[in-house]
Amino acid sequence: MLQEEGREKKLFGTDGIRGIANRFPLDIETAAKTGRAIARVFAKQPGAKIYIGQDTRLSSDMLAMAVASGICSAGIDACLLGVIPTAGVAYLTRNYGGAAGVVISASHNPFEDNGIKVFQANGHKASRLQEEAIENKVFQDNEELSEPGKLVERNGNLDGYLEFLKNNFKIFPKHIDIIVDCANGAASDIAPRLFASLGISASIMAAAPDGRNINADCGTEHPDRLIKEVIATGASMGFAFDGDADRLLAVDEKGQPLTGDQLLAIYADHYQRHRRLKSATIVSTVMSNLGLRQALRSMGLDFRSCPVGDRNVVEAMQESGAIIGGEPSGHIILRDIHTTGDGLLAALMLLEAAGASGLSLSKLCKKLIRLYPQKLVNVPVVSKPPLASVPEINSAIAGVENELGDSGRVLVRYSGTQNLCRVMVEAEDERLVTKYADLIAECISSQLGH
């Protein structure tokens, strides 16, 4: 199966604007123009305010100030929140009267990268039409500049978000020890405070950001240290966040990482048992495991698939009325509580579900879901022509799909944020999964690689 992107965008990818800091489109000139464009699109009333949060990258201060300068140049006040998780910006924007929210982060990418994500006043990510409007104003803005807005620093930014997280959870396992990997990112300050305030014994690691060590051998992309620590200490579970803490990777007491599909199965079961499930539909992406569909079916629940990207998940949830959705990567949206993916929220809900079940995390997973073997290969590419236009790639995919029949599936798509082509093969036989994923990946590399 091929998945193609729609309109080619100049700035925005699947999750905001991404690139190498200090180079287009993450240079200060373009960032300032983007800030002004965001103000023009979202701030229609005098006295409007736009919130700006950031992660711990070396370049985040620079880009936050550039975006803020652009916002002020449009006559709108810019409120600097400092280092805060992406979900915290969405929460504060929605609950403290912001016209829009901006996050300076490249999530799980290396420190050299950075990005700009935009939230609407209601706490949802900017729509595609709004992103197009921002792009148009960045490249074609001829409007006269007005009297400048002010730069405002808001104190106690984490406190309101921290209380919001705490107030939504009451049930936790007793006598539990957890390990928390903050990825030297946006969770580094708030995560230790959160778990301590709830009386949960948490050993904290990777919570000393220096501007360069965000996601470096830690966090959701590099869980090896977390796994070793969980096993060595006999902890009940471990949590790893990414750079902006909107994703969660959980590790059970045996050191086995859980996928987003396993988390969704746990949340679905927990919500259903406690009569919190307002819809029988659970949403995930085309990358989700066939095992999730089977697990939900056994619970009497429906599965809805959508394209990759947490914004696509939210849109599908809104259309179907679902309140639980997410991605295998660990983006989890609990729509009855928040508007966007939130790693801290997902971690608390996992603690609640485990506590309510009375089971260890490994036993809870084993009870609820059996995952099919799956392999994902990221193939570096120098260009991204429509995949359907490359006969050799089409032939390789069709051949594998024919061999697998109904016992597996293939998905090939470009990354929306990096120069990669992602190949996913899933089947009951793990040997076939590896064989066919590598076969397709080698074909793509020969046609589109360096």
**Euclidean distance between CA atoms 433 and 371, whole angstroms:** 13
Tokens coding 70: 């652009």
- Residues facing residue 178 across a β-bridge: 202, 237
Q: Give which of 333, 357, 326 is closest to 259, Cα–Cα.
A: 326
Kindly give, in sequence order, each residue whose CB lies less than 8 Å from that of residue 159, ignoring residues fewer than 6 positions away.
Answer: none
**Euclidean distance between CA atoms 130 and 311, whole angstroms:** 13
61, with CB counted inside 10 A (0-12, 13-18, 19+), is middle
Q: What is the mean pLDDT, run by run of 10 residues, along the chain of 450 residues?
A: 53 92 97 97 90 98 98 95 97 96 97 98 96 94 82 83 92 84 98 94 97 98 98 97 98 98 98 95 94 96 94 96 97 97 98 93 97 94 94 95 89 87 93 95 94
Q: Is the peptide bond before 192 cis (omega within 30 degrees of 0)?
A: no
pLDDT at 5: 47
pLDDT, the chain, mean: 94
Q: Give which of 400, 424, 214 is closest to 308, Cα–Cα.
A: 424
pLDDT at 82: 94
pLDDT in tens, 199-252: 899 999 999 999 999 999 999 999 999 999 999 999 999 999 999 999 999 999
pLDDT at 7: 42
- Location of structure tokens 């939230």: 119
| 301 CB-side CA count, 13 A | 31
Give the domains, in start order, of the chain with CATH numbers.
2-155 (3.40.120.10), 160-257 (3.40.120.10), 258-368 (3.40.120.10), 374-448 (3.30.310.50)
pLDDT at 111: 96
Kindly give, in sequence order, each residue whose CB lies less than 8 Å from that of residue 8, ignoring residues fewer than 6 positions away.
Answer: none
- CA torsion through residues 420, 422, 423, 428, sign: positive
Helices 86-95, 157-167: inter-axial angle, 10-degree rounding: 90
pLDDT at 40: 95
pTM for the whole thing? 0.90
pLDDT at 2: 56
Q: Give which of 333, 306, 336, 337 is closest to 319, Cα–Cα.
A: 306
- Strands 77-83, 49-54: pairing is parallel
Cβ atoms of 25 and 33 within 8 Å: the answer is no
Is 201 a residue of the active site? no
Strands in 123-200 per DSSP E: 151-153, 177-181
Three-class DSSP category at 268: helix
156, with CB counted inside 10 A (0-12, 13-18, 19+), is exposed
Name the maximum alpha-carbon separation found in the chain: 66
Q: Given 69, 107, 284, 357, which residue is catalytic?
A: 107
CB atoms within 10 A of CB 5: 15
pLDDT at 39: 97
